[in-house]
Amino acid sequence: MEKTDVLIIGGSAAGPVAGVTARKHYKDSRVTVIRKEKEGQVLVPCGIPYIFGTVGAPEKNIIPDALLSGNNIDLIVDEATSIDREAKTVTTAKGNSAGYEKLVLATGAAPIKIPIPGRDLENVFFAIKDVDYLNGLLKALDGVKDVVIIGGGFIGLEFGDELRKRGLNITIVEMLPHCLQLVFDENFCASAEDKLKERGINIRTNARVEAILGQKKVTGVKLADGEQLKADLVFMCIGVRPSTELAQKAGLQIGETKAIWVDEYGRTSDKDIFAAGDCAEKRSFFTAKASALKLASIATTEGRIVGANLFELRRRNEGIIGGFATVIGDSGLGLAGLTETQAKAAGFEIATSEAKTPDKHPGSMPGAKQFAVKLVFERASQQILGGQVSGGSTVGEVVNVLAALIQNRTRANEIATFQYGTHPFFTPSPIVYPIANAAEAALLMM
Amino acid sequence: MEKTDVLIIGGSAAGPVAGVTARKHYKDSRVTVIRKEKEGQVLVPCGIPYIFGTVGAPEKNIIPDALLSGNNIDLIVDEATSIDREAKTVTTAKGNSAGYEKLVLATGAAPIKIPIPGRDLENVFFAIKDVDYLNGLLKALDGVKDVVIIGGGFIGLEFGDELRKRGLNITIVEMLPHCLQLVFDENFCASAEDKLKERGINIRTNARVEAILGQKKVTGVKLADGEQLKADLVFMCIGVRPSTELAQKAGLQIGETKAIWVDEYGRTSDKDIFAAGDCAEKRSFFTAKASALKLASIATTEGRIVGANLFELRRRNEGIIGGFATVIGDSGLGLAGLTETQAKAAGFEIATSEAKTPDKHPGSMPGAKQFAVKLVFERASQQILGGQVSGGSTVGEVVNVLAALIQNRTRANEIATFQYGTHPFFTPSPIVYPIANAAEAALLMM
């Protein structure tokens, strides 16, 4: 039996980052990752939609194993099947076992497959993080003309946008009144839908899928209102469910969101076992309540927290803010923190404001796109709770500007005098820098 | 005589922003801007280099006067020639006078013209913010082949890069060992120089200009080491000097950097007269010492402070951080706060660290560029003092991520667990997000 100081189960985002962080904080520890994926086969999770249009192949969307070897982290390619918490060992599908001082569960999450008729037909696919599976999907796309995507969240929209680049006929079916409704306020959702339509993508909102049609292979999708959509291929992406089988079998506590319960240091109910990433329960930065939000970026931040805490508690998880961006055509959309809807639902008394201007200056700069930001503030403290942004290629880092302001609980007055830098090619004009302008407008309402 | 509540002298960055802010904070006040530039002739200051390649004409690089009219701000096109502080009036070149309750000086700065022979020859130009003057420069460029730029700061490099797009033969002459040496650490300067050379731009560093040659029109430039550079046109941009004539004539106190002295609320030595922008003295956020740094973005932040403070002190200026970016070809470079050199010179005990990764993920995404960041921390407090970044089009907003962290005096441990958001098209991978990675590396050194 191998014995290691730090054993990490899972090779995607949280696991390797926990390993790299452990290597830095506990230099002499032996750190081992055990994962199912073969050498060179761990997919960049957020890159999966881009395999099908922009990048071209799963093999071009890989997290290099040099991340492990370069940090002196051992790799075992195998599947962990059970944990013996008393003996502090993990056994594997190949019949091996490995001992640990500290164990990190980074087992991730798996796509939810809604139990509707036709779900198992040929050419029905899910966002499964597996190179062979996605190569199967890539191959299946040859000869396909009509695609129905079930689920109008980020992955559905990104997948649809990429397949549209192949000239396919795409319909996105969303149960709620708007695509992206769980992550944006209505006007941002509407702007995303406009952009999808401009790209020639069909949208059915307020629409529930009753059945996937076909004999052996999918031929269509039937909606609850009776409409039938033609489909040679269906992609279902309505969310993920934390992978907690291993933790449950080991008797670890499960949280409200059905993820593995962890304390603010990332420890499970067993103090020698940590959990991070999609499998671990999260709490909101704003309310401290359990949150089901799952993002690769959150997983890596949790990896950075857990990796530092293994042998000594060095970092508290202050709760998740949630920052992310997406792209439709060449337009970007992003959010950090709470939307107006979410803030109200959480019970905050808020003030909101919006500002708009080109994302380059002067507006006559070639390639300038409209940049719009909406900020949400808590009235009593005047602290920023969230920001939504639409624009071009800078939207991802604007989300991070907002995230930095939120993480520091920055007040409206401080944001109104935020010391931004600007450049004609890269940012809006300093005279109307929209984050400062929106903060000023909100301040005067509070 | 006209009487106004708020009279603002200057129509570029700080002045209009002070006016807009005053309008918001003091709704019923009459606000008036007096400026030299005619209707529709105020140039976007940072956009000036881009007139000559990307944008094409001064008229396409204008701050719309709607900024004033839309905020119910009166405009007087005239030149203020003197201030009577006792009577609280300003007289103008056209022989008018205007009374004020509160006066804002936003008179800006003017290019330094080094007193060398040939300075007044035809085809020697400066970065003068005047539409007619710049149209003269634009016209003079017709038929020009060889251009010498004196001064290897931002404006010189940007101007050179733009003229290179016209196919001209460009040489930049810089007195210091590196271009951009006052604003970046050496490896960032070197990378900027490499990019200039790749673009076919010639650089002479450690080189002093002794004379501009020619009879009526410029024909060349003579360096102190005897080298003669052929030149049909010379552009001199070695810095600016605050325009303080009006303030000095009125007996207002002048500060260490030869700018108008102001307190932390933006008040001059006369409490009814404020100053903001390039004409106003600045203090460093880090040391509270006087700083000669001048940027349009700083000017607008000062406008936002001064405009709110006119009738009641509402905002303190915490000192300037300094955030800016520049572009060479399609590469971006940026800084927020202090460089290593500046931090050491200011007496800080520091730790620095660097991190590098593609600015999209996976690295196989089309258009991905190398993204490098260098962070500077104060050892004792572990607070971030500065960050330098090179990359692509997102560099400008990355500067603002750094600025938000600096303004909040964020510590290395908080940045190592910074809750960034990521997206394949827009940001580096969350697994190696370089700002967090660099903070982690610095933390372990402190």
What's the ipTM?
0.96
pLDDT tops 90 at residue A384: yes
pLDDT of residue A2: 81
Which ranges of A278-388 would DSSP assign to H, the alpha helix? 296-309, 340-345
pLDDT of residue B102: 98
Domains for chain A: give ranges and CATH numbers.
2-109+241-309 (3.50.50.60), 113-238 (3.50.50.60), 323-443 (3.30.390.30)
Residues of chain B in contact with residue A334, where contact means CB-CB under 8 angstroms, are 421, 423
CA B153 to chain centre: 11
Residue B91 has phi, psi (to 5 degrees) of: -105, 155
Q: Rounded to an integer, what distance in angstroms lies between the CA atom of residue A283 and that of residue A17?
A: 20
Residues of chain B in contact with residue A405, where contact means CB-CB under 8 angstroms, are 404, 408
Could you tell me the pTM of the whole model? 0.97
Instruction: Let me know the angle formed at the C-alpha of B306 by B283 and B323, rounded to the nearest 5 degrees.
Output: 45
Contact between B398 and B373 under an 8 Å Cβ cutoff? The reply is: yes
**Any chain B CB within 8 A of the CB of A358?**
no
Query: How close B180 comes to chain A (CA, Å)?
Result: 16
Residues of chain B in contact with residue A417, where contact means CB-CB under 8 angstroms, are 301, 304-305, 315, 317
pLDDT of residue B184: 97
Instruction: Let me know the angle formed at the C-alpha of A114 by A111 and A115, rounded to the nearest 5 degrees.
Output: 135
pLDDT tens sequence across A153-167 = 999 999 999 999 999
**pLDDT tier at A352, thresholds 50, 70, 90:** very high
In single-letter form, the type of residue at position A41 comes to Q
Interface of B with A in 422-441 (CB under 8 A): 422-427, 429-433, 436, 440-441
**Any chain B CB within 8 A of the CB of A413?**
yes
Average pLDDT score over residue span A13-32: 97
pLDDT of residue B2: 81
pLDDT tops 90 at residue A235: yes
**Any chain B CB within 8 A of the CB of A446?**
no
**Any chain B CB within 8 A of the CB of A218?**
no
Residues of chain B in contact with residue A327, where contact means CB-CB under 8 angstroms, are 423, 425-426
Average pLDDT score over residue span A46-67: 94
Q: Which residues, other chains included, contact B226 with Cβ-Cβ below 8 Å and sequence gap of 6+? A: none
Beta carbons within 10 angstroms of residue A366's beta carbon: 10
What percentage of chain A reaches a pLDDT higher than 90? 99
pLDDT of residue B393: 94
Contact between A106 and A19 under an 8 Å Cβ cutoff? The reply is: no
Nearest CA in chain A to B19: A431
Q: Rounded to an integer, what distance in angstroms lies between the CA atom of residue B189 and that of residue B200?
A: 17
Which of B67, B395, B397 has the CB atom closest to A398's CB atom? Answer: B397
Contact between A297 and A7 under an 8 Å Cβ cutoff? The reply is: no
**Any chain B CB within 8 A of the CB of A393?**
yes
- Say whether A192 sits in a helix, a strand or coil: helix
Interface of A with B in 78-137 (CB under 8 A): none
Residues of chain B with pLDDT under 50: none
Contact between B319 and B328 under an 8 Å Cβ cutoff? The reply is: no
- CB B396 to CB A427 under 8 A? yes
- CB B401 to CB A396 under 8 A? no
**Any chain A CB within 8 A of the CB of B266?**
no
Contact between A368 and A331 under an 8 Å Cβ cutoff? The reply is: no
Q: Rounded to an integer, what distance in angstroms lies between the CA atom of residue A32 and that of residue A88?
A: 14
pLDDT tops 80 at residue A1: no
**Any chain B CB within 8 A of the CB of A370?**
no
Q: Which residues, other chains included, contact B27 with Cβ-Cβ below 8 Å and sequence gap of 6+? A: none
**Any chain A CB within 8 A of the CB of B323?**
yes
- CB B297 to CB A421 under 8 A? yes
Q: Rounded to an integer, what distance in angstroms lies between the CA atom of residue B11 and that of residue A328?
A: 39
To test the contact with chain A by mutation, choose from B425, B435, B444, B445 the residue with the greatest count of A C-beta atoms within 10 A, namely: B425
Q: Computed over its alpha carbons, how large is the radius of gyration of chain B?
A: 23
Cα–Cα separations (whole angstroms), residue A188 to A340, A369, B1, B325: 11, 15, 50, 29
- CB B417 to CB A305 under 8 A? yes
pLDDT tens sequence across A206-225 = 999 999 999 999 999 999 99
Q: Rounded to an integer, what distance in angstroms lies between the CA atom of residue B405 and that of residue B399?
A: 10
pLDDT tens sequence across B159-210 = 999 999 999 999 999 999 999 999 999 999 999 999 999 999 999 999 999 9
Q: Which residues of A17-56 are buried (b: 16+ CB within 10 A; e: fewer)?
A: bbbbbbbbbbeebbbbbbbbbeeebbbbbbbbbbbbbbbe
To test the contact with chain A by mutation, choose from B402, B422, B432, B440 the residue with the greatest count of A C-beta atoms within 10 A, namely: B422
- CB B394 to CB A399 under 8 A? no
- Terminal Cα distance for chain A, rounded: 63
**Any chain B CB within 8 A of the CB of A419?**
yes
Which of B317, B399, B424 has the CB atom closest to A46's CB atom? Answer: B424
Query: How close B86 comes to chain A (CA, Å)?
Result: 32
- Say whether A371 sits in a helix, a strand or coil: strand
pLDDT of residue B174: 98
To test the contact with chain A by mutation, choose from B417, B433, B445 the residue with the greatest count of A C-beta atoms within 10 A, namely: B417
Query: Mean pLDDT in chain A?
Result: 97
| Site of tokens 């800016």 | B324
Q: What sign does the dihedral B71-B72-B76-B77 (CA atoms) show? A: positive
Instruction: Let me know the angle formed at the C-alpha of B77 by B72 and B82, rounded to the nearest 5 degrees.
Output: 110
Residues of chain A in contact with residue B332, where contact means CB-CB under 8 angstroms, are 423, 425-426
Average pLDDT score over residue span A362-383: 96
Residues of chain B in contact with residue A55, where contact means CB-CB under 8 angstroms, are 362, 364-365
